[in-house]
Structure 1
Amino acid sequence: MKRLATCGCTVAGLTLAMLLASVTAAAFEVEKYLLEPDYETRLARSAAPHGVSHDATIWLLTAQGYREASSGSNGFHCLVTRSWGEIAVNPATFLDARVLAPICYNPEAASTVMQRVFLRTKLVLDGKSMQEVDSAVAAAYLNGTLRSPRFTALGYMMSSAQWLTEKVGHWHPHMMIYAPNLSQSDLGKVGLADMGPVFAEMAGTPNALFVVPMPKFVEVGR
C-alpha cells in the first residue's frame, strides 16, 4: 500500500506539475499581441506629427521581441508599446492585450527609455512575471546595462488610436519628458488636486517624467 500511495503521489505530483507548466506556458500567448505589420507601422508613425515620424526608424513587435522594420534618418524611433512597456504598470493590466501605446522617442530617449522597453518585452516574452520583470530592470540599472537620460529625452504619444487602460481609454494626446528624480514640487505643484494639465509620473525616481498634454491627436495614416 505504501508503494501504491507513493506511486500515486508521484503520478499526481507529475500531473500537477504538468498542469502548472501548461498554465504558465499559456499565461503568455504572444500571438494575441501581434499586429499586421503594415497596420502596426502606421500606428507607430501616428504617435507623432508627420514631420517627426515620417523619417523615423520604425520598430515592430515580433514573437522574438522588437525588430527594426525600417531605418529612419532623423534619429527618432517609433513603435507601439504594449501593456508591460512602462515601469508604472498596474498588475491588473500588465498583460492586457487591448493596450496599444504608440510612441516616438527622440535620440536620447531611444538610447535609454526605449532600451528599457525592449528589455521588459524580452523578459515578458520569456515568461517572466511582473515582479521578475521589475526586479530584472532594476538590476539592469544598477549594473549599467540600462541608464537614465543625461540629456533632454522625450516621447510623443499623440496617436488617435492609443488605448492606454480600461480606466482612461484613449486619454489625451501628450508628450512625455523624462527627467530623472523629478518631483511634483519641481513643477510647482503641491498635490494631485493642483496638478492641472502638467503632472509628474514616477516622481522622485530615476525614471521620473512629466506629462504635457498636446492640442490634438494625430490620425492613423492609410
Structure 2
Amino acid sequence: MKQDAGRLKIGVMLSMLLATAVAECSAAQNPQHAYPSMAPLSQYLMGDRDAEIAMARSAAPKAISGEATIMVLGPHGYVTAVQGKNGFVCMVDRSWSAQFDFPEFWNPKLRGPTCFNPQAARSILPITYKRTELALAGQSSSQIMEGIKTAFARKQLPPLEPGAMCYMMSKQAYLNDGAGHWMPHLMFYMPLEADWGADLPGSPIMLNPQFQVPEKIKVFMVPAGKWSDGTPAPVM
C-alpha cells in the first residue's frame, strides 16, 4: 500500500511538472498569450525613485535632458519629480503606451525612456497620461482604447502640434521581449496623411503603429546611430 501511495504521489508530481513545462513552452511559442491582462501594479513601478529619474534622463543627450522636467510613475499616475527649464519632458513609458493589439501590451518588464520636445509634451504626453490613468483604474486594453476615443471626441485631449517629436536614445530601454534594448532612435509625430517613405526598401525611416488607432497619429522612427551618452550604437 505504501509503495502504491508513493508511486501515485510521484505520478501526480510528474504530471504537475509536465503541465507547467507545457504551459511555459506554450507561452514562449505564443507570446500573444503571455501577457493577457495587467500584472500587479508593483511590477510596473520602480522602487528606486532616483533610478527612474536617471533612466528618464538617459532618453536624450545631457544637453537636453539635463534641463528637462522629469516625470516618474506612482501608484496613481505620473508625477513631477524634477521641474525643468527648457520645456522638454522626460519619463519612462510603460507597456500600455504601445498599440492596442501589441502582444506585450501588459508586459511589466517594458521600460521606454522617452524625452518629449515642448510640442510633444503639450500634445502627445497627455495621451500617455490618459492611457496610464485608465490602466491604473483597472481598465482592459479595449476599454482604454474606447476611453481614448471618447476623450478625443469630447476634446479632452489636445490636437497634435506641428513639430512634435521625442528622443529614445537610452541604453536602458527595454521595448519588448524580442528586441530587448533595440536601438537608439528619434520619433516624429505626424498626421495620418503624412508620407515619409517609411519601411520602403533602403529607407532609414520606420513606421511605428503606436498611435494610428484611435489617436490617428502616425509615428515615424529614425535611427540615431549613437546612444544618449555619445557612444556608438550597434547596427541592427
TM bucket (normalised to shorter chain) is 0.7 to 0.9
| Candidates 179, 191, 196, aligned match of 1:187 | 196
User: Could you tell me how far apart the structure 2 residues matched to 1:214 and 1:100 are?
Assistant: 19
Identity %: 33
* Equivalent residues in 2 for 1:34-45, closer than 5 Å: 34-35=45-46, 36-45=48-57
- Judge conservation of contact 1:182–1:209 (CA < 8 Å) in 2: no
Q: Does 1:129 align with 2:140?
A: yes
Aligned to 1:92, what secondary structure does the other structure show? coil
- Judge conservation of contact 1:28–1:127 (CA < 8 Å) in 2: no
- Judge conservation of contact 1:108–1:153 (CA < 8 Å) in 2: yes
Q: Does 1:112 align with 2:123?
A: yes
Q: Which runs of 4+ in 1 moved over 6 A?
A: none
Structure 1 unaligned spans of 5+: 1-25
Cα offset, 1:169, TM superposition:
1.3
Distance 1:74 1:27, change over 3 A: closer
Report the counterpart of residue 178 of structure 1 in structure 2. Answer: 189
Query: What's the RMSD between the two structures over aligned residues?
Result: 1.9
Aligned residues: 189
| Candidates 49, 63, 79, aligned match of 1:67 | 79
Q: Does 1:208 align with 2:215?
A: no
Q: TM-score, normalised by structure 1?
A: 0.79
User: Could you report, residue by residue, the CA deviation over 1:145-200 in whole angstroms, capped at 9, with x for unpaired residues?
Assistant: 113323200010000010101121111100001011144xx2235xx452632122
User: Could you report, residue by residue, the CA deviation over 1:18-77 in whole angstroms, capped at 9, with x for unpaired residues?
Assistant: xxxxxxxx9541111111100000000000000110000000000010000110000000
Q: Does 1:168 align with 2:175?
A: no
- Judge conservation of contact 1:91–1:130 (CA < 8 Å) in 2: no
Cα offset, 1:108, TM superposition:
1.1
Structure 2 unaligned spans of 5+: 1-36, 230-236
User: Could you tell me how far apart the structure 2 residues matched to 1:89 and 1:43 are?
Assistant: 25
Aligned to 1:150, what secondary structure does the other structure show? coil
User: Could you report, residue by residue, the CA deviation over 1:101-152 in whole angstroms, capped at 9, with x for unpaired residues?
Assistant: 0000011101111110011001000000000001111111111111332320
Report the counterpart of residue 227 of structure 2 in structure 1. Answer: 217
